[in-house]
Amino acid sequence: MSADDIEPGDAIHRGHPVIVDRYTKGARINHWITAASLVLLALSGLALFHPKLFFLTGLFGGGQTTRMIHPWIGVVLFFSFFGLFLRFWKANLWKREDGTWLARIRDVLTGHEERLPELGKYNAGQKFVFWSMSALILVLITSGVVIWDQYFYEFTTIEQKRVAVLVHAIAAVLAISVWIIHVYAAIWVRGTIRAMTRGSVTGGWAWRHHRKWLRELAAKLPNGRSKTTHAK
Ligand code: HEM
């Protein structure tokens, strides 16, 4: 069995219940820095986006500081997400079973995951969040640099800056939407949040949602024998 979905630190611990390590401390710190910077970026960006939301500048010490700080938080998000990208890209590669999972999303939403193919570490929804965030953050940093007049004013024309402002705003709205989907899904699939807080999930969670990943991990247990039947 190929084990390309296993990430460093993933491991099964026998017991009642079985516990499965899913994220290292480093990955979790990396994730929460990314999450915090996206929230701060959204708040400071929305403050600059529309006069009705200008009051949000109060959170950052006024209009001038908001304008100064927003692009720097963007730089933090870019590098922080790049860290996540390096950690997670491989397990997010598209697999044949992802197409089937997506085509039968109704079974997922009605609680019949057992009718679907076994999945690796991530499902198609998580992969969608991963790749769309990767693309959107790239668009945001590129268009952001074009309109970061304090340092890069002379490198582009006014017309290019106009296009960049529009592209930046559209990408931001899409990124906020993807973020809402991500958080909703993390809460909706019970037992998922602890993956990013404690770093582990129960064997039952892994068996139900990511059985192929669990089997790959079980195959690595000492004695070589699969113990996944204990994971319910
Ligand atoms: C602030 C609210 C957020 C919450 C509550 C949250 C929660 C979570 C949870 C629980 C997981 C683990 C899912 C699993 O292993 O099955 C996760 C994974 C992940 N999160 Fe978040 N997250 C938040 C924000 C973000 C943001 C802003 C980004 C990116 C810009 C992000 C990117 C990721 C990535 C890349 C993964 C790994 C899953 C994958 O690669 O498909 N998260 N998140």
Tens of pLDDT along 178-194? Answer: 999 999 999 999 999 99
Report the percentage of the chain scoring pLDDT > 70: 94
Residue 229: per-residue pLDDT = 44
How far apart, in whole angstroms, are the C-alpha atoms of residue 215 and residue 120?
A: 9
Residues 6 or more apart whose Cβ sits within 8 Å of residue 116: 97, 100, 101, 104, 107, 108
- Span 44-58, pLDDT tens digits: 999 999 999 999 999
Distance 182 CA to ligand 1 centre (A): 6
Q: What is the pTM of this model?
A: 0.92
Give yes or no for a contact between 215 and 5, defined as CB atoms under 8 angstroms apart. Answer: no
pLDDT band at residue 227 under the 50/70/90 scheme: very low
Q: Residue 201: beta bridge partners?
A: 20
Nearest atom in ligand 1 to the alpha carbon of residue 77 is 30
CB 195 near ligand 1, within 6 Å? yes
- Res. 230: pLDDT tops 90: no
Give yes or no for a contact between 133 and 89, defined as CB atoms under 8 angstroms apart. Answer: no
CB 209 near ligand 1, within 6 Å? no
Coil/strand/helix, residue 127? helix
- Res. 228: pLDDT tops 80: no
The whole-number average pLDDT for the span 161-172 is: 98
Q: Residue 26: beta bridge partners?
A: none
Of 70, 168, 182, 210, the active-site residue reads 182
Q: What is the mean pLDDT of the chain?
A: 93
- Span 1-25, pLDDT tens digits: 456 789 999 999 999 899 999 999 9
- Span 141-156, pLDDT tens digits: 999 999 999 999 999 9
Residue 222: per-residue pLDDT = 77
Residue 223: per-residue pLDDT = 66
CB 205 near ligand 1, within 6 Å? no
Give yes or no for a contact between 116 and 108, defined as CB atoms under 8 angstroms apart. Answer: yes
Backbone φ and ψ for 174, nearest 5 degrees, come out as: -65, -45
Residue 50 a catalytic site member: no
Coil/strand/helix, residue 15? coil
| Nearest CA, atom 16, ligand 1 | 192
CB 134 near ligand 1, within 6 Å? no
Nearest atom in ligand 1 to the alpha carbon of residue 201 is 15
Q: Choose between 230 and 29: higher pLDDT.
A: 29
- Res. 114: pLDDT tops 50: yes
Residue 85: per-residue pLDDT = 98
How far apart, in whole angstroms, are the C-alpha atoms of residue 222 and residue 186?
A: 32
